[in-house]
Amino acid sequence: MHGAVDKVDIAICDRLQRDGRLSNVKLSQQVALSEASCWRRQKRLEECGVIEGYQAILNRKKLGLGVMAFVQISCTDHSEEATARFESIIACAPQVLSCHNTTGEADFLLQVVARDLDSYSRFVEKVLRALPGVSSIRSNLSLREMKTTNRLPAGEILSI
């Protein structure tokens, strides 16, 4: 990024995390900047990749996606080719909300959604079991979602 992120930049990001449809007029009022200055800062944050995009937050249950699973995958093949194929397959799977290469027993942790258990089972059979070099797949099904957010903690960022 061109220059450091300051408190005003963080305030802009925080407000936009809460409401991505916030007009520049309202945003500039909330962060106590002129409209032009606020617009320039927001564009700079977008151009340098701090703000990656804007999206609607959907309710998965109301859309019929009743199953949320956290899947631990262990692999025996860690070659560059196998890893590239693994990443490509996961990137194309819309059921996978996130995938992390992790420390610990498993190599990867996935967050997966499905309509129901039958749909999830088909996903495991057709997609996960077809992944190269997979030696173990362990699923933990979410019984109750207590918190979910994509918002980064502005307070933590400011205290750094």
Domains, the chain, in order of start with CATH, read 7-56 (1.10.10.10), 60-141 (3.30.70.920)
Tell me the average pLDDT across 10-26.
Answer: 96
pLDDT at 160: 54
- Within the chain, strands assigned E span 67-75, 96-101, 108-114, 134-141
List pLDDT tens digits, range 88-116.
999 999 999 999 999 999 999 999 999 99
C-alpha–C-alpha distance, residues 99 and 21, integer Å: 28
pLDDT at 4: 83
- Residue 60 reports pLDDT greater than 90: yes
> What is the β-pairing status of strands 96-101 and 134-141?
unpaired
Q: What is 95-119 written as a DSSP string?
A: TEEEEEE-SSS-SEEEEEEESSHHH
- Residue 8 reports pLDDT greater than 70: yes
Q: Which of 19, 59, 71 is nearest to 145 (CA)?
A: 59
What is the rounded average pLDDT for all residues in the chain?
A: 94
CA 116 to mean position of chain CA atoms: 22
